């Protein structure tokens, strides 16, 4: 297949695939490195490279799950708290083999929307790299990521835009 056909196939095959459909096997380090490397090729105005992505696996991922659950509990009015939702947050994070926090850094050199656009293109690169490597993935953007403090160091000029879940397919 020529390059154009391969690219067309990968773009058309890309889907959001959720943690319930991930297997318990680990993504190989080589593939994970390739997915993260793809981020650096996203176009970005004035070379601000606004992506600040952090990888969570193993113990770091377990702590992220606990923090997300604690935030949900703390920010939800008691009468709206749902045990199922609380458990689901933990289930999804535990089921994913690797999670990347999607944080944008606003440099002040270009409008904020341009930095968000560049970060989104970086996420698309990860999506396409996952597809090409048969890895399930999706961008999750719950409100509670605004409160992440222990797992992430968010500076004044930065914002967390969500989490990118990854796992081998069943
Ligand atoms: C910026 C952004 C945020 C998203 N946030 C969520 C989310 O919080 N929860 C979710 O289930 N899917 C989320 N998605 C994934 C979309 O639901 C998904 O892309 C859409 O349903 C189309 O499906 P596809 O990716 O398979 O084409 C997000 C996608 C984008 C681009």
Q: How confident is the model at residue 138 (pLDDT cuts 50, 70, 90)?
A: very high
Tell me: pLDDT of 1 over 90.
Answer: no
| Confidence (pTM) | 0.98
In 16-128, where do the E strands start and end?
51-56, 98-105
Q: How far apart are CA 14 and CA 137, in angstroms?
A: 9
Mean pLDDT (the chain) is: 98
Ligand 1 centroid distance, CA of 157 (Å): 25
Identify which of 16, 21, 104 to mutate to test ligand 1's pocket (most ligand atoms within 8 A of the CB).
16
Residue 50: the pLDDT is 98
Q: How far apart are the first and last CA of the chain?
A: 27
Tell me: pLDDT of 116 over 90.
Answer: yes
Q: Do the bridges between strand 98-105 and strand 135-140 make them parallel or antiparallel, or are there none, so unpaired?
A: unpaired
């Amino acid at each position: 297949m020529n390059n154009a056909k391969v690219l067309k196939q990968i773009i058309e095959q890309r889907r959001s695939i959720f943690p319930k459909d991930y297997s318990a096997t680990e993504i190989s380090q080589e593939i994970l490195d390739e997915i993260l490397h793809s981020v650096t090729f996203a176009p970005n105005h004035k070379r601000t490279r606004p992506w600040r992505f952090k990888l969570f696996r193993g113990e770091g991922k377990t702590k992220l799950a606990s923090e997300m659950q604690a935030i949900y509990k703390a920010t939800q009015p008691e009468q709206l708290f749902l045990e199922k939702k609380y458990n689901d947050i933990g289930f999804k994070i535990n089921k994913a083999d690797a999670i990347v926090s999607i944080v944008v850094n606003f440099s002040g050199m270009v409008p904020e929307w341009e930095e968000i656009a560049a970060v989104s293109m970086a996420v698309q690169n990860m999506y396409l790299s996952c597809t090409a490597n048969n890895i399930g993935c999706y961008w999750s953007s719950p409100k509670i990521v605004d409160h992440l403090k222990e797992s992430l160091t968010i500076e004044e000029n930065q914002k967390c835009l969500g989490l990118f879940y990854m796992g081998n397919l069943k």
